[in-house]
Amino acid sequence: MRQVLRICLALLVVGCGPATGASPVPTAPRETASTPPTPSPTRPASPGPSAAAAFPIEAFAAISEDPVTAELAARFQAALALHDVTGGGGMSATVMTAEGTWSGTTGKADGVRDLRVDDQFAIASITKSVVAAQIMLMVEAGELALDDLVADHLPGNVRFDTNGATIRHLLGHRSGLPDYYDLLNASQETEFQRVWTPAEILAMLPPDRIPSDTRFVYTETNYLLVSMVIEHLRGRPLAAVLRDGALAIDGLERLVHQPDERPTEPMAMPAGTSHAVLDGRGGYLPSLANSTAYAGSGAIASDSPSLARWWRAFCAGEIVSKASLTEMSTFEEAEHIGSYGLGLYDPASGYARSFGHTGQLPGYMSWAACLPEDEAVIVVLTNHEVNDGHLAFSHGLARPLVDALRSL
């Protein structure tokens, strides 16, 4: 699945920190978010711009889900309408603040029906933030450490050179492992109902490696391995682990991890195409093939209110601990995108300070982040196809809403 990050890397080079392309949940006692993460045994927290500052969970404590005033709702709706979606598709957005919460839409779901705020979209690489949060819960529970070797937490029958990479390297895209997105790209456009397995994908990868922890290279392979680690340690499918862990909060019924959980009506079709495409894609957004190929990196589908609800809880320290959030938001230099942490980066760089992620796959783009100075959470989802300027377009998805918020 290709995200906004991939684009940036592809342009010089799914969901990054900026990426492009195809992409990317069921019950047990929930892990607690109060225990600080296990100290890294071989490496201290990586130095970076935010290394000295604890994650500002207090900035999100007063956010309310009560409706905003009619005046503020009109202002946000006008800001969303600044995006030109006349070429097809549309947008759905949610803004959560201490003044209340607003959700709105513009454009079409399938070329005929107007979008609704409960329409589900593929969120692509924003899935990575959820999966990274699950790893941090497991670190807090003492099941693994960030600087453990990946190879030590994979099934014994996996024969794959993990390049000496650690869990931290995978989450931060510093493993040096080759990517498989381009290897699957052609198939993803034709074999919509193909079911991919991790073994198939790993067997396709070339032997080339970059020494781990020497360069930031955004690859879907990293989160494929992360998903395998989670499933191996827990002995359950990733979707089930997430539902009882990183997704174990109220109000996420419209947020689903495909293919184990299916999207349901209403749904925004990829690129605003006819609803008829859904059957040919196995009933998934954007397809069964995409969901199985990028289960750990881009398989979630959601409406904007549910995704915003998750980000509010996450940034308020209600899912993982403040210590884990600080670790995740300790950014290191990331070529072509500025900086990247552990499943997080700043998608509003240049016009606001934020902690979040973006995503892109065929027919969808997504933007989600917490903005501490604005004490707000913003999510923008679109099924509007953009053929040029992907990276700039994706990063700018939330800018009109940020400007509207700051004009109060």
Residue 375 φ/ψ, nearest 5 degrees? 50, 50
Q: Which DSSP helix (H) or strand (E) runs through 107?
A: strand 100-107
Distance between CA atoms of residues 182 and 13, nearest Å? 12
Residue 27: CB atoms within 10 A of its CB come to 10
Could you tell me the mean pLDDT of each successive run of 10 residues in the chain, 408 residues long?
42 33 28 33 35 86 97 97 93 98 98 98 98 98 98 96 98 98 91 97 97 96 98 98 98 98 98 96 97 98 98 98 98 87 96 96 96 98 76 81 93
- pLDDT, residue 387, reads 60
Residue 315 three-state SS: helix
Q: Which domain holds residue 149?
A: 2-406
Distance between CA atoms of residues 368 and 305, nearest Å? 11
Distance between CA atoms of residues 268 and 55, nearest Å? 34
Helix axes 399-406, 70-80, angle to 10 degrees: 150
**What DSSP line would sit under 325-393, residue for residue?**
HHHHT--EEETTTEEE-SS-B-TTTTT---EEEEEEETTEEEEEEEETTTTEEEEEEE-----S-HHHH
Residue 32 burial (C-beta neighbours within 10 Å; 0-12, 13-18, 19+)? exposed
Pair 31, 135: CB distance under 8 Å: no
What proportions of the chain, in percent to the nearest 5, are helix, strand and coil?
Answer: 30, 15, 50
- pLDDT, residue 338, reads 82
Distance between CA atoms of residues 220 and 210, nearest Å? 15
Handedness of CA 152, 149, 317, 255 (dihedral sign): negative
Q: Tell me, what DSSP letter sits at residue 4?
A: H
- pLDDT, residue 391, reads 55
Q: Strand 338-340 to strand 376-382: parallel, antiparallel, or no bridges (unpaired)? A: unpaired
One-letter amino acid for residue 243 of the chain: R
- pLDDT, residue 21, reads 30
Distance between CA atoms of residues 268 and 359, nearest Å? 16
**What DSSP line would sit under 122-173, residue for residue?**
E-GGGHHHHHHHHHHHHHHTTS--TTSBGGGGS-TT-----TT-BHHHHHTT
Residue with tokens 């589908």: 301
- pLDDT, residue 2, reads 47
Handedness of CA 267, 271, 276, 281 (dihedral sign): negative
Query: What's the number of domains the chain is made of?
Result: 1
- pLDDT, residue 276, reads 96
- pLDDT, residue 71, reads 96
- pLDDT, residue 26, reads 27
Kindly report the CATH number assigned to the domain that includes residue 287: 3.40.710.10
